[in-house]
Amino acid sequence: MQPEPEDLGAGVWSVPVPIPDNPLAYTLVYALESPQGPVLIDAGWQHEDAWAALRDGLGTFGIDVADVHGVVVTHFHPDHAGLAGRVRDTSGAWIAMHHADAEFVRMFHTTDRAHRRTIELDSLRRAGAADSELTDPPQGGQVDPPAIPDRELSDRELVDLPGRSLRTIWTPGHSPGHICLHLEDGDRIFTGDHVLPRITPHVGLYPYDIPDVDPLGQFLGSLDKVSAMSVDQVLPAHQYRFNGLSGRAREIIEHHEERLTEVTALLSSRPTTLWDLTAGLTWRHAWADMAQGSRRMAAAEAAAHIRTLETRGVARREGTDDPIRYVLR
């Protein structure tokens, strides 16, 4: 069930914003008080129901969207950045995100939907999927790219939150520019999707064989980074707030180490396609029952784990032709 908007005390409010037809159900948008107007952390999915929930939820605390001073986006994914542009149009607020994600947003604005559908099918074929397993991705299933930010943040930079200290903590992995935000005057950390209380975020490699990029390695390093912080309360973008940042970060690291072991067990001296490796892994749903979009994300997650194994010297790619194949080093 979706929670109600909540006053968390010390000038911090939580507003759940629904994600239509998604098992995550909602994004927790946070509002932080300042003399120049509230600053939002994330904004929610671009949908009329989501907009109504954000507007009315803020209104519960006497906050008008027109008074918003700024929106800090933890990462560019649509359930976090989707409504940022509409908030800016309504209030004149600035939008800020890490420069690595801002680069992706600009790229999305120069790539049309038809081209993105072609890229998806080509990537699945390169992974080793047979044409009989592929269908043309529905155009209606793609969302518009988020608004291009006005400001770009770097690691350790303070956000424009007058009278308060909100520091950017760069935590790449789930996205290249994912950030957590440490409210230093309140001993709270807003973790976006980086550290969630019960689930782990998707960490994928796109394209599947892009060189010199190790998103899972970055993610594990980012978890190490935040696990060393002494912060009392964790405010994630999904599920619920909790205490024990370090312990939860270590649990997620352990989960991925177990996953790396599972991937390693599928490798041998015989070249195996990325598609077959992905199909051999354990997923929440049976491989045969997974839709094409879910399989595409699964292959990206498998590719990210294999890349980390490559970085560690455990696996290597066999040849440079398609389909993409790997062997145990």
Q: pLDDT value at position 140?
A: 52
**Sign of the four-CA dihedral 242, 20, 291, 120:** negative
CA 13 to each of CA 39, 59, 75, 233: distance values in angstroms, whole numbers, following the listed order:
11, 11, 20, 14
At 186, is the secondary structure helix, strand, or coil?
coil
Would strands 26-32 and 39-41 be described as parallel, antiparallel, or unpaired?
antiparallel
Q: pLDDT value at position 183?
A: 98
Over residues 223-271, the pLDDT tens digits come to 999 999 999 899 999 999 999 999 999 999 999 999 999 999 999 999 9
Q: pLDDT value at position 114?
A: 81
List of the chain residues with pLDDT < 50 = none
Q: pLDDT value at position 24?
A: 93
Q: pLDDT value at position 119?
A: 87
Q: pLDDT value at position 138?
A: 64
pTM of the model: 0.95
Question: What are the structural domain ranges in the chain?
Answer: 6-245
Element (H, E) at 135: none
CATH architecture for residues 6-245: 4-Layer Sandwich (3.60)
Q: For residue 65, which of 35, 91, 44 has the smallest C-alpha distance?
A: 91
What lies within 8 Å, CB to CB, of 205 at 6+ separation is: 213, 215, 216, 300, 303, 304, 307
CB 173 within 8 A of CB 74: no
User: Hey, what are 326's tokens?
Assistant: 């790997």
Question: In the block, which residue shows the tokens 């006005």?
Answer: 150
Q: For residue 278, which of 232, 234, 233, 323 has the smallest C-alpha distance?
A: 323
As a whole number, the mean pLDDT across the chain is 96
Alpha carbon distance 28, 293 (integer Å)? 25
Q: pLDDT value at position 121?
A: 92
Alpha carbon distance 166, 164 (integer Å)? 6
CB 73 within 8 A of CB 146: yes
